[in-house]
Chains A and B, each alone.
Chain A
Amino acid sequence: MLSFNVIATICLIYVGTLFAVAGLAERRARQGRLGFLQSPLIYTLSISVYCTAWTFYGSVGSAALNGFEFLAIYLGPTIVFIGWWWFLRKLVRIGRTQRITSIADLISSRYGKSNTLGVIVTLLAIFGSTPYIALQLQSLTLSFTVFTEGSSSEASPTITALFIAAGLALFTILFGTRNLDANERHHGVVTAIALEAIVKLIALISVGIFVVWGVTGGLSNTLALMETRLPLAEGIFAPRWVTLTFLSATAIICLPRMFQVIVVENSAEKHLATASWVFPLYLLLMCIFVMPIAATGLNILPKGANPDLFVLTIPLAENRITLAALAFLGGFSSATSMVIVAAIALSTMASNHIVLPLWLYAVQKRNPESDDVRTVLIRSRRISIACIIGFGYLYFILTGGTSALASIGLIAFLGVSQVLPALIGALFWRNATRKGAIWSISTGFLIWAYTSFLPSFGGDFILSQNVLQNGPYNISFLRPQALFGITIIDPLTHAVFWSIFLNTIVFVFVSLITNPSPLERLQAQKFINVYGQNSNLRSVGEGVTPDDLFLLAQRILGRDDARLLFTQFSKKQGRQGLPEINIELMETLERKFAGSVGAATAHSMITQAVGNQSITVEDLIAVADETVQGIEYSTRLEEQSKELTKSAAELRIVNNKLTKLSTQKDDFLSQVSHELRTPMTSIRSFSEILQSDRILNKKQLQYFSTIINDESQRLTRLLDEILDLSFLESGQVKLNLSNANLSTVLQTALQSTQQAVFNANAKINVNIDWIENTLNTDVDRLSQVFINLITNAVKYNNKEHPELQISGKKTNGNLNVMFHDNGPGIPKSEQPIIFEKFTKLSNATTTSGVGLGLAISQEIMKNLGGSLTCLDSEDGAKFLVTMPIA
Chain B
Amino acid sequence: MKNNTSTKRDIDRRKLRKITELSLGIPIIAICLLVSPLLNGFTKSDGQTEFAFVMIYIFGVWGALILMAFIMSRLLSNGVDKK
Chain A contact residues, CB within 8 Å of chain B: 68, 71, 75, 78-83, 85-86, 89, 93, 96, 223, 226-227, 230, 232-237, 241-242, 245, 268-270, 272-274, 276-277, 280-281, 284, 287-288, 291, 621, 625, 628
Contact = CB atoms under 8 A, between A and B. Distances in A.
A631 to B, nearest CB: 13
Given A273-B80, A291-B55, A83 B39 contact: no
A270 B80 contact: yes
A227 B81 CA distance: 48
9 contacts: A75-B35, A82-B27, A82-B30, A85-B20, A227-B48, A273-B73, A284-B59, A284-B62, A284-B63
Tell me the interface secondary structure of chain B in the complex.
helix
B61 to A, nearest CB: 9
**How big is chain B's contact interface, by range?**
35 or more
Nearest to B38: A237
Contacts of A78: 30, 62, 65-66
B18 interface: no
B58 A71 contact: yes
Nearest to A222: B52
Contact of B51 (A79, A232, A288): A232
Contacts of A288: 59
A771 B63 CA distance: 115
Residue among B27, B39, B49 with max Cβ neighbours from chain A (10 Å): B27
Contacts of A242: 35
A68 B54 contact: yes
Tell me the interface secondary structure of chain A in the complex.
helix
Interface in B65-82: 65-70, 72-74, 76-77, 79-82
A715 to B, nearest CB: 77
A83 B62 contact: no
The 8 A-B residue pairs with the shortest CB-CB distance in the complex, in nearest-first order: A83-B27, A277-B69, A273-B73, A237-B39, A277-B70, A82-B69, A235-B40, A269-B80
Contacts of B36: 237
Contacts of B69: 81-82, 276-277, 280
Contact of A277 (B27, B37, B55, B73): B73
Contacts of B83: 268-269
B54 to A, nearest CB: 7
A276 B38 contact: no
Contact of B43 (A230, A236, A269, A276): A236
B31 interface: yes
Contact of A625 (B2, B38, B48): B2
A79 B27 contact: yes
Nearest to B61: A75
B34 A75 contact: yes
Contacts of A71: 58
B39 A82 contact: no
A252 to B, nearest CB: 13
Contacts of A621: 6
B73 to A, nearest CB: 4
B50 interface: yes
A291 B65 CA distance: 21
Contacts of B80: 89, 269-270, 272-273
A82 B26 contact: yes
A381 to B, nearest CB: 28
